[in-house]
């Protein structure tokens, strides 16, 4: 979930990998809501029976967990620059690849779906472009790519930015915000501009309508409000402003 194995982000995820899967369970109400809402929106409407799926930045394999009950015959390939994260994954060992997706040769040439969820946050511009080019060249003709971006114009992002310095000084180093790991956020325009050279955008939506730190301090109330906000139209300024992440579904560009 970072740009290179020796980066601060890769070391951070190696260090926290043994506790990461628990964030998808109800032991952590906020993370359970946040991660599982992302998985639901990222996969909604996709038919992946007998399909080849690539998960870039697969982490502890929670997308695999999410898809396998619905599509037990899917062919799933997972990559991550954090060996520690992949070591916690239920993805079969011969379908897990440590390092960059574009540096590996897979058993299939083209994928019916490619996911990059929660990963662009830890990539610089050049690394993001390399991954998007690889995805574009690896999609099957009718394949879909689903990519998320941290939303720079969201209130949650602004709150995290304003609290970053005191959290770095006094917070736990097993949290991204207080770890010192460099991250990047995107406006809708910036996300579209990054994707445009490589992929056609089919749908753009938002997710996670909680605001830091209230999602952690008051998870029950925050999640109830978030679910109500999610029912607002995506063109509503309130819906956009109270969204921490952007989800974009794309397809390969078609040229005349």
Which of 21, 3, 10 lies closest to 64, judged by CA?
21
- The backbone torsions φ and ψ at residue 176, rounded to the nearest 5 degrees and listed phi first, read -55, -45
Q: How confident is the model at residue 16 (pLDDT cuts 50, 70, 90)?
A: confident
Residue 188 main-chain phi, psi, to 5 deg = -60, -45
For residue 179, pLDDT over 60 is answered with no
Sheet-wide strand order for 75-80: 96-98, 75-80, 52-56, 111-116, 139-150, 245-252, 199-207
- Per-residue pLDDT tens over the stretch 47-90: 999 999 999 999 999 999 999 999 999 999 999 989 999 999 99
Rounded to an integer, the average pLDDT of 82-102 is 93
Contact in structure between 2 and 82 (CB atoms under 8 Å):
yes
Q: CB-hemisphere CA count at 13 Å for 138?
A: 26
Kindly tell me if the per-residue pLDDT of 180 is higher than 70: no
3 pLDDT exceeds 60? no
Considering the chain, what is the average pLDDT of its residues? 87
Work out the pLDDT band at 5, boundaries 50, 70, 90: very low
Instruction: For residue 13, name the pLDDT band (cuts at 50, 70, 90).
Output: confident
pLDDT score, position 29: 86
Quick count: other Cβ atoms within 10 Å of Cβ 41?
Answer: 20
Question: For 180-201, what is the mean pLDDT?
Answer: 92
Query: What distance in Å separates the CA atoms of residue 178 and residue 170, rounded to the nearest whole number?
Result: 8
Taking residues 116-137, what's their average pLDDT?
Answer: 94
Nearest CA to 46 out of 134, 138, 142, 118 is that of 142
The runs of H, that is alpha helices, within the chain are: 8-20, 29-43, 62-67, 83-87, 125-138, 155-170, 176-179, 188-195, 214-217, 219-230, 237-241
Give yes or no for residue 4 having a pLDDT over 50.
Answer: no
pLDDT of residue 106 exceeding 60, the answer is: yes
Only one residue has tokens 């929670």, namely 62
Which residue bears the tokens 């709150």? 159
Q: Please check the confidence at residue 174 and state whether its pLDDT lies above 90.
A: no
Q: Please, what are the domains in the chain?
A: 8-252 (3.40.50.150)
């Amino acid at each position: 979930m970072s740009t290179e194995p020796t980066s601060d982000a890769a070391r951070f995820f190696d260090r926290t990998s043994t506790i990461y899967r628990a964030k998808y369970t109800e032991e952590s109400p906020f993370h359970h809501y946040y991660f599982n809402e992302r998985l639901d929106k990222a996969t909604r409407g996709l038919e992946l029976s007998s399909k080849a799926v690539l998960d870039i930045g697969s982490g502890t394999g929670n997308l695999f967990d999410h898809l396998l009950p619905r599509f037990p015959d899917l062919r799933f390939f997972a990559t991550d620059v954090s060996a520690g994260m992949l070591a916690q994954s239920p993805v079969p060992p011969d379908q897990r690849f440590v390092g960059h997706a574009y540096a590996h040769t897979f058993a299939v040439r083209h994928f019916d779906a490619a996911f990059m969820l929660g990963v662009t946050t830890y990539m610089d511009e050049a690394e993001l472009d390399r991954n998007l080019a690889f995805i574009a060249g690896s999609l099957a003709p009718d394949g879909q790519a689903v990519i998320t971006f941290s939303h720079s114009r969201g209130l949650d992002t602004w709150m995290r930015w304003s609290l970053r310095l005191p959290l770095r000084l006094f917070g736990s180093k097993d949290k991204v915000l207080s770890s010192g790991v460099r991250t990047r956020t995107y406006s809708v325009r910036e996300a579209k501009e990054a994707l445009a050279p490589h992929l056609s955008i089919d749908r753009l939506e938002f997710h996670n309508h909680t605001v830091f730190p209230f999602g952690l301090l008051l998870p029950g109330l925050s999640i109830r409000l978030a679910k109500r906000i999610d029912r607002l139209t995506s063109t509503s300024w309130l819906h956009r402003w109270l969204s921490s992440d952007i989800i974009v579904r794309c397809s390969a560009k078609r040229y005349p």
